[in-house]
Amino acid sequence: MKAGIVGLPNVGKSTLFNCLSNAKAQSANFPFCTIEPNLGVVNVPDLRLEKLETLVNPERVLPATVEIVDIAGLVKGASKGEGLGNQFLGNIRETDAILHVLRCFDDDNIVHVDGSVNPIRDKETIDIELQLKDLETVEKKLDKVKRAAKTGNKEAQKEEVALLKVKTGLEAGNSVRTIAFSDDEHLEFIKPLQFITDKPVLYVCNVDEKSAATGNDYVEEVKKAVKNENAEVLVLAVGTEAEITELETYEERKMFLDDLGLDEAGSAKLIRAAYKLLNLHTYFTAGVKEVRAWTIPIGATAPQAAGVIHTDFEKGFIRAEVIAYDDFVIYGSESKVKEAGKMKVEGKEYIVKDGDVMHFRFNV
Ligand SMILES: Nc1nc2c(ncn2[C@@H]2O[C@H](COP(=O)(O)OP(=O)(O)OP(=O)(O)O)[C@@H](O)[C@H]2O)c(=O)[nH]1
Ligand SMILES: [Mg+2]
């Protein structure tokens, strides 16, 4: 599962990627600085992990991670192959969620590919290219499905109805994620086609330093423009965040953030938002050797969660011993939780909750 950073060229995508990841991407003041995607594995900041560390005092602590890809900028005509567009769109298709960076800062020294700062126009430019690509996908598929539908194939007829909804929606300038489908329709016919505009999206407004806490007029316009998209908007001073990342100590970073009126780095917020966008959450294992956060899809069962540690854990799953995170903190240790009778034993059907502290029993 990975989230891709998408937007026009030269809007700060690689600068943002560098704030999140240790894998340094090249960033410079000219369009198409990035060609090949940069992949980074990013630690997910989680205060609960720090709390568990102080309670358990383990030899090591391992946070959850999420994969972020920095992708080349798209320009008008990308869907027709402009500016290596097809390759870049292919890179976007391989992601599971989109972080759409919009330039919301003025700076005459930083080139804008379309000559002026206008995040609404920029967003439309990107949306249109993604939608045109999806239109190509749906039209190809429709050709085949229509023929099958004509022969009386009931399944193909249902599929045709779903695909026509996509086509009509895209032609009206709507992204697939905003079109209404029944659950079955989406699962059977829409999901397998991996439409780019069906991926969940988070808008990242890249603002100047003084707007980091409050946003600015550009941000307000963006919020208005996306209010029916069911998408989150995050305000981030990417250039400033890059400076914060350079600071060595926690105290220095804290002082910088205080000056900006922020309670934590925007990059931390963004990582958590990306994690959520990918529909992921966390369970913990907490032993003296290692306290660790594990990543699972929301809705995963106990055996599936065990499988993230090792496939044998899933195959030979017997039961899980589960402590709610809050109980672990209230009682302070596993043994005290047990004494209080707060540890639960769960079977194969158990849906793991965010923050569960777990032990798996299995045989191989
Ligand atoms: N003033 C200002 N400059 C920024 C900000 N964010 C990025 N920049 C500058 O904008 C230029 C482009 O940044 P990049 O991160 O390389 O942009 P990109 O979106 O990755 O560009 P491509 O890879 O060409 O698509 C660099 O010179 C950055 O230093 C910001 O918040 N404020
Ligand atoms: Mg770049």
Instruction: Supply the pLDDT for residue 34.
Output: 81
Judged by its nearest atom, the ligand closest to the C-alpha of residue 25 is 2
- Whether 178 and 228 have beta carbons less than 8 Å apart is answered as yes
Residue 353 DSSP code: P
CA of 14 to the centre of ligand 2 (A): 4
The answer, as to whether pTM is greater than 0.85, is: yes
**Tell me: the pLDDT tens digits for 59-80?**
999 999 999 999 988 888 887 7
Instruction: Supply the pLDDT for residue 348.
Output: 96
Judged by its nearest atom, the ligand closest to the C-alpha of residue 73 is 1
Distances (CA, A) of 235 to 189, 209, 238, 346: 35, 11, 9, 41
Residue with CA nearest ligand 1 atom 7: 12
Choice from 5, 6, 14 to test ligand 1 binding pocket (greatest atom count within 8 A of CB): 14
In ligand 1, the atom with minimum distance to the C-alpha of 15 is 15
Instruction: Supply the pLDDT for residue 23.
Output: 67
N residues, the chain: 364
CA of 251 to the centre of ligand 1 (A): 27
| Ligand 1 shell residues, CB under 6 Å | 7, 9-15, 27-29, 31-34, 72-73, 105, 107, 110, 206, 237-239
**Tell me: the pLDDT tens digits for 18-58?**
988 876 778 887 888 888 889 999 999 999 999 999 999 99
Residue that has been written with the tokens 């749906």 in this structure: 138
Instruction: Supply the pLDDT for residue 228.
Output: 85
Q: How far apart are CA 150 and CA 25, in angstroms?
A: 51
- Whether 345 and 320 have beta carbons less than 8 Å apart is answered as yes
Instruction: Supply the pLDDT for residue 248.
Output: 84
CA of 73 to the centre of ligand 2 (A): 7
pLDDT beneath 70: ranges in the chain? 23, 83
CA of 242 to the centre of ligand 2 (A): 14
At residue 204, what is the residue type? V
